Amino acid sequence: MVAVVAGRRVVCAVARRRIGPRDKGKGEGEGKGKGEGEGEGEGEGVRSGIRAIPLCRVRSISGTSFANTLLPLTLPWAARRGGEVDRMRDSPLLRSDPMSPRLLIYSRTTAYRHASIPAGVAALRALAAGSGCPADATEDPAAFEQDLSAYAAIVFLSTSGDVLTPAGRAALRAHRSAGGGFMGVHAAACTEYDWPYYGGLLGARFARHPAYQPGRLTVEDHAHPATEHLPDTWEFTDEWYDFRASPRGAVRVLASADESSYEGGGMGADHPLVWCHEHGGGPMFYTALGHADEAYTDPAFRAHLLGGLRYVTGLS
């Protein structure tokens, strides 16, 4: 089969692979992985049962050979080229069903609840719709006990506390291992403290924050859709989250806090606030910003969120 994906000519053949107990270690990662040193890292793969996954055996992309690499059809998928990840649009031509990719916005809280959640949901819905990606929003954990394969990516918007059931945790891990994207906004770092896998996925865990106040971010990496529009120094007003440990070294840091620009910072010179990485089979983007309603009407912050969405969904 030949298809055009995100402007690239893709030559592939369709296959189905049955995955069962013998594939332990081949689902979300090979044994232990990187995280915060919290235990599970990237997981142990499929533990039991058998499921069929539609796959695309990629022979070439724009003339570049990929030696018949098998990639999932049902989610936005990634072809690895020289260690770098080239995410491509989830074309209907390459799906086992005609459904367009969707976004799932999850904002359940069992601890502190941000009043800005409705504004955040509205902003993410509008940004996703503008990129041709319909969005569903929910606070019902049962949503994660159903088939998630229709979703290109999942966003945790200012979630807090334990927000997933055991079945929901398993479903999120399966979505990740199939190539699904994940985006965390603000208090997503205050979530699932007792689940080591989530700590590795997000990259860091919230520790504390000073008062809501103006400050500055230093944009370290402009070669990302979430930061390409920003100046080297970004003036913003937020809570300036401190984390238990810096994720630098395990993630790609995009922007960090300049603690000299506000009162009460507790991490010092190495204080990442925005980062991304590949974890468990799919892309992850996190921004610590987004405390107040005003953030979600700010053009620079909306463009920042849109860039994060594009990164985790592969949409243009």
Percentage with pLDDT > 90 across the chain:
66
Helix-then-strand count for the chain, H and E: 4, 17
| pTM, entire model | 0.72
Residue 316: predicted pLDDT:
67
Distances (CA, A) of 119 to 16, 41, 50, 298: 42, 33, 41, 11
Report the alpha-carbon distance of residue 137 to residue 124 in Å, rounded.
9
- Over the chain, what is the mean pLDDT? 77
Residue 257: predicted pLDDT:
98
Question: CATH number of the domain at 102-313, please?
Answer: 3.40.50.880
Please state the rounded mean pLDDT for residues 15-23.
33
- C-beta neighbour count of 84 within 10 angstroms: 9
How do residues 196-248 score in pLDDT, each as one tens digit?
999 999 999 999 999 999 999 999 999 999 999 999 999 999 999 999 999 99
**Which stretch of 82-86, 274-278, 284-288 has the lowest confidence by average pLDDT?**
82-86
Residue 75: predicted pLDDT:
41
Residue 159: predicted pLDDT:
98
Residue 100: predicted pLDDT:
62
Distances (CA, A) of 19 to 24, 53, 92, 149, 245: 9, 8, 24, 16, 36
How do residues 298-315 score in pLDDT, each as one tens digit?
999 999 999 999 999 988
Report the alpha-carbon distance of residue 71 to residue 61 in Å, rounded.
13
Residue 101: predicted pLDDT:
85
Residue 125: predicted pLDDT:
97
Report the alpha-carbon distance of residue 310 to residue 153 in Å, rounded.
10
Domain ranges for the chain = 2-94, 102-313
Residue 198: predicted pLDDT:
98
Task: Sheet containing 2-5: give its strands across.
Answer: 2-5, 8-19, 51-61, 64-72
Report the alpha-carbon distance of residue 128 to residue 247 in Å, rounded.
28
Residue 267: predicted pLDDT:
98
Residue 204 C-beta-side C-alpha neighbours within 13 Å = 31
Helix (H, G, I), strand (E, B) or coil at 203: coil
- The token pair at 271 is 């204080």
Are 227 and 255 contacting, i.e. CB atoms less than 8 angstroms apart? yes
Of the two residues 89 and 139, the one the predictor is more confident about is: 139
Report the alpha-carbon distance of residue 181 to residue 88 in Å, rounded.
12
**Which stretch of 24-38, 234-248, 253-267, 283-297 has the lowest confidence by average pLDDT?**
24-38
| Size of the chain, expressed as the number of residues it contains | 316
Residue 33: predicted pLDDT:
37
How do residues 69-119 score in pLDDT, each as one tens digit?
334 444 443 332 233 333 333 332 233 333 468 999 999 999 999 999 999
Residue 51: predicted pLDDT:
33
How do residues 24-55 score in pLDDT, each as one tens digit?
333 333 333 333 333 333 333 333 332 333 33
**Which stretch of 59-73, 129-143, 148-162 has the lowest confidence by average pLDDT?**
59-73
**Which stretch of 65-69, 135-139, 166-170, 255-259 has the lowest confidence by average pLDDT?**
65-69
Residue 272: predicted pLDDT:
98
